[in-house]
Structure 1
């Protein structure tokens, strides 16, 4: 993949002038100073050019390669003449210096390693050894990171056969300097003795390596912090195509892949465009970080967008536009890979057909609805197949899903080429829409086929609203994928749940999906739930408008259209209610049921919520979220099924006490001794198993006369550790406990605060480690208990220690999240609900608790939710008399205090004086 010609090469380095200066230099140190100055000046010139032409990836990498080429040639000549001259009376043994790896491809970023190989006539020759050492020491003294090898012609052959890494490195070798005849001889022997006859084996090995790398890097090209070199759809995928082309067709550069019949000229231009963009991104990453950095992390994306001159638009920030372009290039690499491999497979098949016992025999494909099926692949029968009837661009994907067939790569190429035939007539065609709906709600593997449809550009053409979110990044730390990838994954999870393959993690969704009146409404709602992201405004409301327009086109009736529009508008309702509201508060369920209204909506929304969360990324779904959603579903289902509340407050308390008594078993007598000490709100709020544990712990603590009792226990069912603190109640206890938990690396995801009739606090916290898992090791639990005891008994100074804690997730500083505070006095009959949204940061919960404490607001329960870099903390509070806070002046003062706590670094002590 040779770089384009460089303009004004002497401004980068003037080898002739520098050679004369080296010849006149009196010592090695003087020569080294000249070389070091030339390297630095060359890099500065290239950096200036990158700033002027920020997308010129090929030219910039070619410039760095050119700079090193000239330096290595000068170093070779100087070392050969002055540092390791040929002994008098002897003849120099042949040696050639070659560039390998990325350097061999002329793809040198500012901090890339310099990979070189010395091909030598005789490895043991003393003068050759001295010359190699002299060259390497000069390169090392220049501060370069050098990878090197020394090989004879026999080594080239034997080591290439034994090691695939060496084979690939030698495949990319480029002559630099020295004996060119020796280089030519090495090349001839390499192809004749190593390559010949091993082409298929090499291709299979490279594809295995690619698949393993993809799996290691997340197995999708749409991760929001991609690796530009190793990630799926990145530079290494392009390299693999080049290696294969060079191995099989002896292609010297990417342009020759066209002559080999593996790409069309248009596809080659796409190849170069994607490669040039990725190379430019990589060069900027190296310059910004000052090291060989290939991962496009959140904190670097904004600077890359600025450097590469992407600007803000009305509905999209510069960084979102930059990343969308990045993902479009990665998507194109995926398409090119499919085309390349399809052509390669066809070439291999033709070679096989000309050999062996079956030479001359041609198997006939079977026909399916006018299409050809051969070896499990579906293909168009002619080149003008889609032009004759563009609806076939939808039909072929529907057939592939229903018949569980792959689409032949050549036909994918045709579909990509002809996708522009999809116009308004095709979009409004009833047959096309019926086919699309059948595909979308397919029962085999709609996820995979929709991904193929998206890769071919057909999906976005047929549903332009989906095309608008194609490759669209969501610039936050919560979403792992682009909008289109998230949506397609969500549809895949629907299919998996419907097959019963996630019944253990999603028992209610698995039952509900088979009880729906309209399963196709669910699939359409899943397709459309994020369709309006990036338009500026509430994507749920805007998406509902899109649904009202698209559903009739897809063939949904009025009832289904209204249902889909409602689900898109309310697709966050269930998760927000479950994660941000107190499910023990009757008003929470009342309000939720008032909005949901029917069992059909509840079932539809429950399934959509599950797949939406799960498709955000690995680890986003956990058992605690499942439990909260399940509890809300069960409470709402009962209410909707019967149409009224089955039990009043007194009955609910009595029923809970009876259940706890049963759970206590042989300790049931504790309910007679201690049960009345706990108030009605306690019995309504706490689950049976936690209440039983609390009663036992409280009884033991009182019998022992302990002023403080802290107990930690891993709760695998909830996916968290239950931390129970029993102590004499006093203002500020909540913030001290929260600080102590955070100090040992714990994240509080839920908290319930109670006071017994005798004045003891009984506070239950659900805590996870930084990876969202329960603490379970004995030493971890002991650390939590000790930290809480220190904070409550000795008044340990928490703030200085908390300030040293790292952010919950690396990279959160890259995001600007303005704190916001909302109050809701209608969400609960007894409490004021305070919701604070802010950037996640060390000790945020303590700061907020401190602000509430200073404003004389008593915390009754807290619900902590994290969306990547954003924290959404909800508190149920009262004033000191136990009433709601309604005075506008008090609320405004509380708002100001919470905003300050969420935004200020606050180095002051958190504990009261």
Structure 2
């Protein structure tokens, strides 16, 4: 049986499925047996003192995961036929499809390379004999470790710098929605760095918590590769479910929470190790300089520490001053200080004194330094003393596909972003507290905004805010999604929409400005590409209109723009669909006009989809015998289509000469889009659009090419008149909102049922049923 077939049998579990750890052990045994036999056949006899085959990397550590490359070194002491022997070893591995990183060296050559190349030096710490002379392998292993102990301290800055560059590229394992198990901060590469510092006798061996984190990371990496049948180390959300099931977790979210905790454990352990070895300079007998930072707080060398005269037991706010000083300076809190505070700091009683509130505001407004300061307090149990509610969101994975962080990290990142917006609001202290708490209600199986508002009110009273300010913080948490949802899913030019928002906020302009700033911070802290210029413009316009409404000066209705009148006139004169495109950055405004008797939304949405334009908003209007649609759209990839080509396609579609449904279906097949099993949902909203007979239908469905075209056609066939439409994409889900009015005299309930069924069938991909509503 060949090597590949034997490995495949282990993965498939033909003789009983092995657990992750047992599978790794079996793979190690398999490769050791195969390599030993191949080495003997090639001439690397155990009694020959001139040659030895050794393993480094995963095989050297006995941590071999499926589809891993082998790191092998053929050692020799001047063996003349070592080249032929190497070829006899390497070629069968290549033929078997095994990835191979190989070298042929004498022990002296290996040590010389290690002296210059950090990666080689770290790799040689895992040297393990596979075949040939064991003494030759043992001498290299001992010499490599001794060389590392002698030179490690001088090479630590290089080691730390390389690690930080890697973290910049790969992000973190902890609090990441799709962690890189090997290269991410807190991953398996960082465990290897901890091991190397331990070998150099610069830090103690990792403790039980770190060993448990290593086991989990290895098990997840093993099951991920077994599931995918290829080498991959990034745990995507789509792959996490089967991995979680194999490892006995309730679901992928439970696995994600455990992984986040493991990543935090490893990252924190490595931070402490680097801080004690790399970031703390050797002063050769001189005492570190103590620089005052705040009352009772000093910078001791490169770490934030307690002043000599500080008395933690008598100063409840000292903990917050220490954390704020760390966040402001970007310097870590000394471990001794954290231990002292954990043992001696008294509980802050309700209500907090003003100095404690002021220190909290300083901490939350410190910017990027807040992240590490909160992590240090959280790892020491001190953050939970300040905010016992934090435990419910700690390491809680996001349910929304657009979120890049766990809920607790997202809240901290939102504070960082809010700090940069503090100058735009009249109450930055309330903005920072609302940013910290806006998602605190998640993970409880209920509306997180409502629960979060109640929790925020409790926290606000506990820290000593007035009734008015506590009410404002609670209101901001309760309505933190109101502005972005309204701006992206409703027509903000309609007075009814604006007045509804203003009324919901009880006309409080302070709450409105806080919500505006929080919406920006929330989006920026969610993930890349969530906050866009298009959303910024919509949100700004909505806030401006709401402010005017609250002050009793609603804006006047704007007349139809000259460019719109001109395009409508051209459509009426020619009898053809007309198009005009203007662009600002990546967002385009596409005007499409038709004669009054022609259909507009359905062909427009279809033609834009065929040209890979993602529609964000569409408003429809009529003027002087024609109709116009104003579409806000952006290219999914590439650049905007040629206006002349778009006009020709639209004109043909309006005239019925272009089979849009078939072309969209063909394009969707060409893209190989996977069919979603998610079930579309429809929601109705009354009094959220202008016009006594106008209601809003909100459709939530899996995103697919031409969805707006299909649904618009279905609504038209069901007898609904669409006045405006909005579309927002959330990962693989789209929320399409339509302001519609009935086009027939059917009873309201019957008409809504007909429209809803048509929309849901179209969203699910069923053919549009052309059953026109019966006449009055």
What is the 5 A alignment of 1:34-183?
38-43=6-11, 48=16, 50-51=18-19, 57=21, 59-80=22-43, 94-122=50-78, 125-126=80-81, 128-183=82-137
For 1:148, what is the secondary structure of its paired residue? Answer: strand
Q: Does 1:375 align with 2:301?
A: yes
Aligned mates of 1:319, 1:420 — CA distance in 2: 37
* Aligned 8 A contact 1:343 1:410 in 2: no
Farther off after superposition, 104-113 or 731-740: 731-740
Aligned mates of 1:738, 1:617 — CA distance in 2: 28
Distance 1:364 1:753, change over 3 A: closer
Q: Which residue of 1 aligns with 2:260?
A: 327
Farther off after superposition, 551-560 or 233-242: 233-242
Aligned mates of 1:874, 1:362 — CA distance in 2: 66
Q: Which residue of 1 aligns with 2:451?
A: 542
Out of 665, 688, 693, the residue aligned to residue 563 of structure 2 is 693
Aligned length: 767
After superposition, give the CA deviation of every residue in 1:532-573 in whole Å (9 maximum; x if it has no partner): 001111111111111222211111111111111111111111
Q: Does 1:551 align with 2:504?
A: no
Q: Which residue of 2 aligns with 1:906?
A: 766
Q: Which residue of 2 aligns with 1:338?
A: 271
Aligned mates of 1:540, 1:747 — CA distance in 2: 29
Q: Does 1:833 align with 2:696?
A: yes
* Aligned 8 A contact 2:683 2:698 in 1: yes
Shift of 1:47: 8.9
Shift of 1:162: 4.3
Aligned mates of 1:745, 1:752 — CA distance in 2: 20
Shift of 1:109: 0.9
Distance 1:191 1:850, change over 3 A: same
Q: Which residue of 1 aligns with 2:748?
A: 887
Shift of 1:44: 5.0
Distance 1:805 1:585, change over 3 A: same
Q: Does 1:631 align with 2:541?
A: yes
Distance 1:441 1:94, change over 3 A: closer
Shift of 1:276: 0.5
Out of 144, 152, 155, the residue aligned to residue 202 of structure 1 is 155
Shift of 1:484: 0.9
Q: Which residue of 2 aligns with 1:434?
A: 357
For 1:108, what is the secondary structure of its paired residue? Answer: coil
After superposition, give the CA deviation of every residue in 1:500-522 in whole Å (9 maximum; x if it has no partner): xxxxxxxxxx3xx1xx2x33222
After superposition, give the CA deviation of every residue in 1:3-49 in whole Å (9 maximum; x if it has no partner): xxxxxxxxxxxxxxxxxxxxxxxxxxxxxx36566545555559945
Shift of 1:766: 1.3
After superposition, give the CA deviation of every residue in 1:673-708 in whole Å (9 maximum; x if it has no partner): xxxxxxxxxx3xxxxxxx3433444456667x4723
* Aligned 8 A contact 2:209 2:265 in 1: yes
Aligned mates of 1:422, 1:735 — CA distance in 2: 66
* Aligned 8 A contact 2:52 2:136 in 1: yes
Out of 665, 668, 680, the residue aligned to residue 803 of structure 1 is 665
Farther off after superposition, 131-140 or 330-339: 131-140
Distance 1:707 1:722, change over 3 A: same
Out of 205, 224, 230, the residue aligned to residue 291 of structure 1 is 230
Shift of 1:908: 6.7
Shift of 1:62: 3.5
Distance 1:804 1:61, change over 3 A: farther
Distance 1:524 1:344, change over 3 A: same
Out of 693, 716, 723, the residue aligned to residue 590 of structure 2 is 723
* Aligned 8 A contact 1:752 1:765 in 2: yes
Farther off after superposition, 130-139 or 384-393: 384-393
* Aligned 8 A contact 2:122 2:196 in 1: yes
After superposition, give the CA deviation of every residue in 1:255-285 in whole Å (9 maximum; x if it has no partner): xxxxx5435xxx6111111111010000110
Distance 1:93 1:105, change over 3 A: closer
* Aligned 8 A contact 2:113 2:120 in 1: yes
Shift of 1:147: 2.3
* Aligned 8 A contact 1:328 1:471 in 2: yes
Farther off after superposition, 336-345 or 619-628: 336-345
Q: Which residue of 2 aligns with 1:505?
A: none
Q: Which residue of 2 aligns with 1:215?
A: 168
After superposition, give the CA deviation of every residue in 1:809-834 in whole Å (9 maximum; x if it has no partner): 99987884542332424542252221
TM-score (structure 2 length as normaliser): 0.89
Aligned mates of 1:807, 1:369 — CA distance in 2: 67
* Aligned 8 A contact 1:749 1:863 in 2: yes
Shift of 1:488: 0.8
Unaligned runs of 5+ in 2: none
Distance 1:190 1:233, change over 3 A: closer
Shift of 1:288: 0.7
Farther off after superposition, 453-462 or 838-847: 453-462
Q: Does 1:598 align with 2:508?
A: yes
After superposition, give the CA deviation of every residue in 1:136-193 in whole Å (9 maximum; x if it has no partner): 233334442222221223431343344443333334332222122322343455456x
Aligned mates of 2:771, 2:713 — CA distance in 1: 8
For 1:862, what is the secondary structure of its paired residue? Answer: strand
Aligned mates of 2:621, 2:611 — CA distance in 1: 24
Q: Which residue of 2 aligns with 1:464?
A: 388
Aligned mates of 2:313, 2:18 — CA distance in 1: 44
Q: Does 1:242 align with 2:112?
A: no
Shift of 1:108: 1.0
Q: Which residue of 1 aligns with 2:609?
A: 742
* Aligned 8 A contact 2:393 2:407 in 1: yes
* Aligned 8 A contact 1:222 1:327 in 2: yes
Aligned mates of 1:455, 1:140 — CA distance in 2: 46
Aligned mates of 2:97, 2:681 — CA distance in 1: 46
Out of 519, 522, 526, the residue aligned to residue 616 of structure 1 is 526
Q: Does 1:302 align with 2:172?
A: no
Q: Does 1:863 align with 2:726?
A: yes
Q: Does 1:877 align with 2:743?
A: no
Shift of 1:491: 0.7
Aligned mates of 2:415, 2:474 — CA distance in 1: 17
Q: Which residue of 1 aligns with 2:399?
A: 475
Provide the alpha-carbon RMSD of the alignment: 3.5
Aligned mates of 1:497, 1:894 — CA distance in 2: 44
For 2:528, what is the secondary structure of its paired residue? Answer: coil
Distance 1:786 1:387, change over 3 A: farther
Aligned mates of 1:196, 1:790 — CA distance in 2: 76
Shift of 1:836: 1.1
* Aligned 8 A contact 1:744 1:783 in 2: no
Shift of 1:598: 2.0
What is the 5 A alignment of 1:704-715?
705=574, 707-715=576-584
Distance 1:901 1:277, change over 3 A: same
Q: Which residue of 2 aligns with 1:753?
A: 620
For 1:479, what is the secondary structure of its paired residue? Answer: coil
Shift of 1:458: 2.5
* Aligned 8 A contact 2:604 2:650 in 1: yes
Shift of 1:712: 2.5
Bigger Rg over Cα: 1
Q: Which residue of 2 aligns with 1:671?
A: none
Distance 1:49 1:731, change over 3 A: same
For 1:621, what is the secondary structure of its paired residue? Answer: coil
Distance 1:755 1:371, change over 3 A: closer
Aligned mates of 1:157, 1:296 — CA distance in 2: 36
Distance 1:380 1:622, change over 3 A: same
For 1:406, what is the secondary structure of its paired residue? Answer: coil
Shift of 1:907: 5.7
Distance 1:585 1:44, change over 3 A: closer
Out of 493, 508, 518, the residue aligned to residue 584 of structure 1 is 493
